[in-house]
Each structure stands twice: as C-alpha cells, then as structure tokens.
Amino acid sequence: MEKLIDYLMEIGFSKNESKAYLSLLKQSPLTGYEISKQSGVPRSMIYQAINKLVAHGAINEVRSDPLTYTPVPPKEFIGRLRQQKEETFDYLQDNLEQIQHPPEVHVIRHIQERSAVIERMNDLISKAKHEVWLSIWDSELHEIEPYAKKATESNVELYSLLFNCQPTDHFGRAFYHHPSTANIEEQRMNQRLTIVICDNKEVMIAGFSKETVPSAVHTQDPMLVLLAKEYIRHDIMMKVMSEHISEEKRNQIWRNDSDLFYIVTNELLNKKDNEGES
C-alpha cells in the first residue's frame, strides 16, 4: 500500500489524496466522513483532498443524500492521465525545439590527393580578409606563392614559417627554418606538416609525404584553429630565439639530454648511441 501511495504522489497526488482514492477503490460509494474513517485522513482535511480528487478526474461526486463519492476506474483514469501527459510532452517538445538556437557544429572535412589539398589551401588564402598564418615547406612553396602574393597585394597580413633557408618574397612577415632543423622535424613527424589559417576562423592541416598519399583536415572548429596558430607561433618564437645562439650551443642544449633529445627527434638517445657503437 505504501508503494502505491508513493507512486500516486509521483504523478501529482498528495499523500492524503492518495489515501482517499485507495479507500474508494476498496469500497464505494462513501461519504466524506466514511472516506476519512477508512483512509485515516483527518476530517479537517478530507474535503480538501476530495475536492482535489474531483478536480483531477480521479473520483466522481454522486448527488445523493448524504453526498457520496465513487472512484473513476483506474484504467480509465490512468489512461486519460497518460494521454494528457503525452500531449503535454509532445507540445513542449515541438514548441521548445522551435525556439531553441541550434548548436554550432564544426565539421571536420577530410581531403586526400595532393592537387585537392593544394587547391583547398589556396582557397583559404584567397578568401582571407585580414590575416593568414602559414607553415609551408619548400616542396609546396611554389604552388602557394602566387596566392600568397595576391593576398599581400590585397593588404592581408601574412605570418609565415617557411621550411626554406632562402628568403622568398610575397609571404609577408616570414621566418625561415634552416635545412638541418627542417630535416629533423620531417624525420620526427615522418611527413611535412603544413598549416594554413584564414582570419582566425578556418584552418587546414595537411601532411605531405613521399610514402603516403597527401591528406588534410579542414575545419572551423575554434579550438583546432587556436591549437594550429599556437603551433606556428611557438615554432616562430623558437626559431627567432635560436638565431641568437650558435649551432654548437644549441646542440649542447639538447643532444646530450636524453629527454630533450627524445622531444626534439622522437628517438631515444641511448638507442641512437647504441646504433652508433654498433
């Protein structure tokens, strides 16, 4: 019985209403006084409970002398209640969806084949209105340069990290990787990681390799745009700082530190030494 009361309370009945309804299911018709006596609901509160049950459509009022009450059959009452709830839920779902602002979904597009990847990179450079960030290797430089030139001529700011030791025009504020450091990066990643960022809104991250078909991802996801820009920014800063240190000093910093050696080359220092000894 207590469990029935608990479940009736879950659908909106009070405890007194639940007791009164259950009493009428056991025996009816009953007067208000008899319902109070059968259910244990105080007489001072029984008519408030009865009136609520009538309003819920759970019991019927019988015009007799004295006034009596009968329960609406549970199947009829619960069926009507279920239908009302479903109508309420359907209404809420339809109308809440109409006012809901759709979440912003950032699709990640996958692109393959060298020509398709280069074409999409050039599209991003061409559509830029404010600035472009680039990390480009010498092997792809000549295919990108005409579009970079047009962007600079249109007063678009370019910040470029070029894996090419020869100064090249049309790439805005450009920084250059020495071939030795470029080789280390290509060997570590087993590809030429190439990045184009358009107006801090879109990014294309591509990988060019002699062993696999070139592929790329293109997205407007703000976190991936930020991540790619920070990658280029940090690479540029490391390049600028390393220019103030001799190559011998740079090598001393990381070549004899096993952790730094692994971070820079993706190879274990001990393994490298063992290979040299053998």
pLDDT in tens, 196-217: 999 999 999 999 988 889 999 9
Res 101: pLDDT: 75
Is residue 175 one of the residues assigned to a domain?
yes
Distance CA 93, CA 79 (A): 21
**120 and 192 within one domain:** yes
* CATH, residue 40: 1.10.10.10
Range with top average pLDDT, 229-238, 239-248, 259-268:
229-238
pLDDT at 272 over 60: no
Task: Supply the pLDDT for residue 270.
Answer: 63
All residues at 6 or more sequence positions from 208 whose CB lies less than 8 Å from its CB, including other chains: 114, 117, 137, 139, 140, 191, 192, 194, 214
Choosing from 18, 51, 74, the residue where a domain stops is 74
Q: How many domains does the chain have?
A: 2
Residue with the bigger pLDDT between 58 and 268: it is: 58
CA dihedral 73, 78, 80, 82 (to 10 degrees): -170
54-109, pLDDT tens digit by residue?
A: 998 999 999 888 999 999 999 998 999 899 889 999 999 888 888 877 767 788 99
Residue 118: is its pLDDT beyond 90? yes
Query: Does residue 267 fall inside a structural domain?
Result: no
**Domain check: are 119 and 43 in the same one?**
no
pLDDT at 31: 94
Domain boundary among 32, 56, 74: 74
Residues 143 and 236 in one domain: yes
Residue 140 domain flag:
yes
Q: Which domain holds residue 139?
A: 108-244
Rounded Cα–Cα distance for residues 222 and 104 (Å) = 11
Phi-psi region of 220 (alpha: psi -120 to 50; beta: other; left: phi over 0): alpha
Q: Exposed/middle/buried for 103, CB within 10 Å: 0-12, 13-18, 19+?
A: exposed
* Residue 138, domain CATH: 3.30.870.10
Q: Which of 174-188, 220-234, 257-271 has the highest mean pLDDT?
A: 220-234
- Please check whether residues 54 and 157 belong to one and the same domain: no
Q: Which of 122, 133, 165, 142 is nearest to 229 (CA)?
A: 133
| Residue 273 exposure: Cα atoms within 13 Å on the Cβ side | 9
210 and 190 Cβ atoms separated by less than 8 Å: no
Same domain, 135 and 195: yes
- pLDDT for the residue numbered 278: 43
Is 172 or 256 the better-scoring residue by pLDDT?
A: 172
Same domain assignment for residues 113 and 70: no
Tell whether 44 and 118 lie within a shared domain.
Answer: no
Residue 160 within any structural domain of the chain = yes
Q: Is there a single domain that holds both residue 112 and residue 70?
A: no
